[in-house]
Amino acid sequence: MAAAMAAYTESLSVDSRMVAEDIWGSQAHAIMLCRQGIISAEDLRHILTWLERARADHESGAFQLKPELEDVHMNVERYVTEGAGAVFGGRLHTARSRNDQVLTDCRLYVRARLMETEQALVGLARTMLGRAAEHIETVMPGYTHSQHAQPITVGFWATAHVSAWLRDLRRLRAAYEIVNLCPLGACAVAGTDLPIDRALTAELMGFGSVQDHALDVTSSRDFLVESLSALTMVMVGLSRLSEELVWWSSHEFRMVELDDAYTSGSSIMPQKKNPDCAELTRGKAGRVIGDLMALLTVTKSVSFGYSRDLQEDKPPVWAAFDQTLGALATLTGAVGTLRVKAERMRALVDGNFAVATQLANWLVAAHGVPFRHAHEIVGSLVGTLSRAERTFADTSTVLAALGEAGIATDAATVADVLDPLAGVRRQTSQGGPSPAEVTRMIAALGAGVDAAEQDVAHRAAEVDAARERLRGEVAAAVD
Ligand code: ARG
């Protein structure tokens, strides 16, 4: 191979992340070959001895990967052949191709990172629920069109994000289901005429089941698309949270303040405290969306049967996992330490007309005014007050306008109707911001988060059990 060609086509720089997975897959494969009488117990003993050494060397950092060997598969196999000799080592690659091998490694790797992502998202959701519980009565403006709409609470806002993250957790879980299938034994494209046992290798790696069809196995990358798509949704959600944090921490809003640990200064402006964690999350979400497009574009023209194009599947997936896990870790810290400026939020609500709907609804409920007419009465009152640069705090103007509309009432009643916290407390419709509903939703969302966490823990235990079982088989064969 020409030097330029070798440098251009190598994949070690990308698949060196999968050394442990390549060894695991090789151990399972060798055990199966022996069980099926394809290699001898003596062959197996030599192969496993050197695979175990490779594992120990990898764990201690002593396994030196050789770039000239192109990929992780050749590196692991060469380690075994050099140690065990060509007669024994040369039997490891029986009834296997790098086409099913790379997919085996990749599925093992992605499976672990999906669980890691789920755990990280569970952590963020827990943190946000904690913040919600602190602020079920902290009034803030609820926005539509970036304009004050109706009063809500910080607890209501925080639980909205958690509510969306529970769907992200479901998407990650669904991707796991598609990832956790065993491709090994599909070989290059058409299986093999040797008597392999695909169920056994699947079991030794803790896969949910065998991915059956050899041609489909070696051709498909949709398990990566599904995973990356779930990551993209997570990042889009985090980007929207970040957008809120960026604006709300500005001097114009001053509704929240990020802890110093999650901001950065400026090299020239001594006063600066920049919300970089949030800005970078918006930026990195753009990259992850790009990663998803890159992966889809890489796969879209590959006819069935492995083509080398498919080697380009991994870089966008690795990048997306790295960025998403980084965003989750950083934003968990930022959210957990966020200072909520309750007085400022309340002042913003009081300085504008977010409670207008409360007044209109009171005309409906207490005075039988048709809603459209109530809307007109309050709309015209808001017009009068804002032209005079006043707010609903101008009780005499409010009482006068209501009197003109034939509504007899008093200052105390109007004050209660227009109180934002009292108003929020009355928003008791299902899923609304009343403290009672938010308390209920915190409990329901918390139960969802707990269930997701238990589900990940259960799957992680299954994977660990498979790894332990394989360790036992290896130890028995090597002795
Ligand atoms: N590095 C390759 C990949 O990531 C592994 C499979 C190579 N197969 C081959 N026939 N060259 O896709």
pLDDT tens digits, residue range 395-424? 999 999 999 999 999 999 999 999 999 999
Looking at residue 261, its pLDDT comes to 97
Residue whose CB lies within 8 A of the most ligand 1 atoms, among 311, 314, 318, for a mutation test: 311
Pocket, ligand 1, Cβ cutoff 6 A: 11, 15, 71, 98-99, 102, 310-311
pLDDT(15) > 90: yes
Q: Are 361 and 374 in contact (CB under 8 A)?
A: yes
Instruction: For the chain, give the percent of residues with pLDDT over 90.
Output: 100
Please, what is the end-to-end C-alpha distance for the chain in angstroms?
41
pLDDT band at 178 (very low <50, low <70, confident <90, very high): very high
Ligand 1 mean position, distance from CA 45 (Å): 28
Instruction: For the chain, give the percent of residues with pLDDT over 70.
Output: 100
3-state secondary structure of 350: helix
Closest CA to 369 of 380, 357, 379, 377: 377
Residue with CA at minimum distance from ligand 1 atom 2: 311
**Tokens matching residue 78:** 């060469």
SS (HEC) of 81-115: HHHHHHHHHCCCCCCCCHHHHHHHHHHHHHHHHHH
d(CA 153, CA 151): 7
pLDDT digits (tens, 9 = 90+) for 98-133: 999 999 999 999 999 999 999 999 999 999 999 999
Average pLDDT, the chain: 98
pTM above 0.75, yes or no: yes
d(CA 235, CA 282): 8
Residue whose CB lies within 8 A of the most ligand 1 atoms, among 8, 15, 19, 102, for a mutation test: 102
Looking at residue 45, its pLDDT comes to 98
3-state secondary structure of 152: strand
Q: Are 221 and 313 in contact (CB under 8 A)?
A: yes
Domain 101-129+137-154+213-343 indexed as CATH 1.10.10.10: no
Matching residue, tokens 């590959």:
302
pLDDT band at 393 (very low <50, low <70, confident <90, very high): very high
Looking at residue 135, its pLDDT comes to 98
pLDDT band at 90 (very low <50, low <70, confident <90, very high): very high
Does residue 266 have an active-site annotation?
yes
Ligand 1 mean position, distance from CA 64 (Å): 20
Q: Are 235 and 325 in contact (CB under 8 A)?
A: no
Ligand 1 mean position, distance from CA 464 (Å): 28
Looking at residue 479, its pLDDT comes to 84
Task: State how far Cα 118 lies from the chain centre.
Answer: 6
Ligand 1 mean position, distance from CA 19 (Å): 15
Task: Name residues whose C-beta falls within 8 Å of residue 315's C-beta, 6 or more positions apart in sequence.
Answer: 14, 294
pLDDT digits (tens, 9 = 90+) for 36-57: 999 999 999 999 999 999 999 9
Q: Among 145, 251, 267, 396, which one carries the catalytic annotation?
A: 145
**Tokens matching residue 355:** 């409670």
Q: Among 40, 209, 250, 266, which one carries the catalytic annotation?
A: 266
Q: In the CATH hierarchy, which fold is given to the domain comprising 3-96+467-478?
A: Fumarase C; Chain B, domain 1 (1.10.275)
Looking at residue 380, its pLDDT comes to 98
Task: Name residues whose C-beta falls within 8 Å of residue 349's C-beta, 6 or more positions apart in sequence.
Answer: 139, 140, 141, 148, 151, 355, 420
Looking at residue 72, its pLDDT comes to 98
Ligand 1 mean position, distance from CA 41 (Å): 30
Does residue 229 have an active-site annotation?
no
d(CA 310, CA 294): 12
For range 443-460, the mean pLDDT: 98
What does the domain layout of the chain look like in residue ranges?
Answer: 3-96+467-478, 101-129+137-154+213-343, 356-418
pLDDT band at 273 (very low <50, low <70, confident <90, very high): very high
Helix (H) or strand (E) holding 210: strand 209-210
pLDDT(286) > 90: yes
Question: What is the phi-psi region of residue 151: left when phi exceeds 0, alpha when psi lies from -120 to 50, beta otherwise?
Answer: beta
Q: Counting atoms of ligand 1 from 1, which one is nearest the CA of 14?
A: 4
Buried b (16+ CB within 10 A) or exposed e, 427-464: beeeebbbbebbeebbeebbebbeebbebbeebbeebe
Residue with CA at minimum distance from ligand 1 atom 3: 311
d(CA 292, CA 286): 10
d(CA 477, CA 479): 6
